[in-house]
Amino acid sequence: MDEAKVGENIRALRLAANLSQTEAARRAGITKSTLSKIEKGQTSSPISTLIAVAQALNAHLADFFRECPPTCRYVLTRAGQGKTIARDGTAHGYNYEALAVDYPGKPIEPFLLTISPGDKVAHFCHTGQEFVYMLSGTLEFTVGDDTLLLHPGDSLYFDPTQVHSLKPRGGPARFLCCFIETK
């Protein structure tokens, strides 16, 4: 899914919540200019920013990526068919493949992430909870003051209000990451 469609969905949700860009940006802890760029599809924001915007709009993260309302009670995502929502050209270079975008009202947003050597190391801090399950590669994961090496089969559940960062070691790292919204 491209940034323009994500921006359209965010704008529609903001208007439905009867919020100005200024107020929505204030609630999300970002500038009005940043929110404007997001709504116009002029920037790819990190998931932590999108989570903050979702909370400011009292919406679910998945609402930003929905192309049409679901017509059934489940979402089946075939291997390699998840919706790419952030590509190698984004600020951090991470590839986020959304695995259950069209299921409404879910408190968990699962993604298949791929991070390659050379991608920027970013520091994240956001609300909710987070779960990581390593599929391939090795990932250096820092949570607060602790640095952990994650290998295939390892999992990590943590409080993402702590500053955290991740960096692949030796080659690309691929893992399942679930962002859990808490209200």
Residue-wise pLDDT for 101-127, tens only, equals 777 777 888 989 888 888 888 888 888
Q: Which is higher by pLDDT, 70 or 6?
A: 6
Q: Which residue has the higher pLDDT, 38 or 101?
A: 38
State yes or no: pLDDT of 85 exceeds 60: yes
Q: What does the pLDDT read at residue 99? A: 83
**Which pLDDT belongs to residue 172?**
93
Give the pLDDT confidence score for residue 144 in this predicted structure. Answer: 93
Mean predicted confidence (pLDDT) in 127-131: 91
Is 132's pLDDT higher than 60? Answer: yes
Identify the CATH homologous superfamily for domain 83-180.
Jelly Rolls (2.60.120.10)
Topology of domain 3-64, CATH: 434 Repressor (Amino-terminal Domain) (1.10.260)
State how far the Cα of 39 lies from the Cα of 21, in Å rounded to an integer. 10
Q: How confident is the model at residue 26 (pLDDT cuts 50, 70, 90)?
A: very high
Spatial separation of the C-alpha atoms in residues 136 and 47, rounded to whole Å: 22
Question: How many other C-beta atoms are found inside a 10 Å radius of the C-beta of residue 80?
Answer: 7
Q: CA-to-CA distance for 179 and 98, rounded, in angstroms?
A: 11
Share of the chain above pLDDT 70, in %: 91
Asked if residue 118 lies in contact with residue 104, where contact means CB atoms within 8 angstroms, the answer is: no
pLDDT digits (tens, 9 = 90+) for 145-173: 999 999 999 999 999 999 999 999 999 99
Tell me, yes or no, if the two domains 3-64 and 83-180 fold the same way.
no
Asked whether the predicted pLDDT for residue 68 surpasses 70, the reply is no
Q: What is the DSSP string of 98-145?
A: ESSTTSTT-SEEEEEEEE-TTSPP-EE--SSEEEEEEEEEEEEEEETT
Which pLDDT value is given to residue 9? 86
Domain boundaries, the chain: 3-64, 83-180
**C-alpha distance from residue 51 to each of 47, 156, 175 (Å):** 6, 20, 19
The answer to whether the predicted template modeling score (pTM) of the entire model surpasses 0.85 is: no
